[in-house]
Structure 1
Amino acid sequence: MNYLIFNTSAENLKAVIYGMDDNEPKPIAVDADGLFLFSPLSEITVTANNLDIRSLSSARDSVVVTANNLDIRDLSGTQDSVQLYNLGFVEESLSTTAPSGTSFLLTKDISAYRENSYFIRNTGSSTITVTLQIAPVDSNAYYVDHSTAQGVTAGNNNITSVTVAMKYARLRVVASSNTNVEIYYNGRA
């Protein structure tokens, strides 16, 4: 006996591909050109320069874009909608000894962020005085006090934030003796 296990007629050769969804096999779909259709719930990561894609339809498309220097056409309220996901949050910290006298700590270019704040914790044994300063350029001659001087006793904290648009910010710390401090800067685009 000879059992034929291969079909020799090409027009009758077909295959069905299945994927598992909650332990249930589901057929993989293709479009009219035979290209795979991905579920709208799938996430596809694309890295590209000069990305050019077809017109999107809100009925079937959803795009999440994470980019630096994103340059796209003007958006139209009748055709487009935008949702912000990650607002570009950054943080930086510094643990140091503020020397006796005046020191300037954690100078930051804050121009890329619309919300900027500083948190300082006095981990030393003497009181310090903290003032937030801002400037359009990073030069001592341009810095101005943006907050009133605040006394921070040993073991206590202070929070201050920038409330006007400016390029640079820093903390002016005045200590009567060498004092340990922890400083945190937070910025959100």
Structure 2
Amino acid sequence: MRLFTAILAGLLWSLAASGARADAVQIAFNDAIAAFEQAQPRLGTTRFGVDISAYRDALTLGRFTSSHWGSSLAVALERGASGYGCARFAAYVPLPPRDGVVPLVICRQFSEEGTAALRRLTILHEMVHVVAGADECRAMAFAAEVERLATGSFTPVERYWQANGCDGSGYDLP
């Protein structure tokens, strides 16, 4: 009986953790959408080479027409395991797109580490990769600019900026 109780308790804990993780992802997307909608009127049609209309569609609808990738694409939210990407990142976008889909992989540490603001920034950042490619400096500059326009400040990312050599990239933080 104790073994059954232990197995049941473990199963329930696993389901609760999975639900909490899904909630953290949904909250992060809601926060990212709200920040983007607040900033959008001041972003113009492109910012840092990111097509604002395509970005909006990718973030809010999960599908977009990409001038960067040259086709219409869907965004597929995937749960990451402990492989290469999740060993290094809270979320990542494996590129290039395949079969009309750009995966956005959410790793376990996305909901286990950091703050709500960092999760929002991560979604804003990763969606730049979805729409405009792999440039880390562009993605961070864009995400920080959206946060600044929406809230008046942005999540501190100086260590990330330095680690990726963004000072000479042609992009700037707000």
> TM-score, structure 1 length as denominator?
0.20
Higher relative contact order (CA 8 A, sep 6+): 1
Q: Which has the higher strand share?
A: 1
Q: Which has the higher helix share?
A: 2
> Quick check: which has more Rg, 1 or 2?
1
> TM-score, structure 2 length as denominator?
0.21
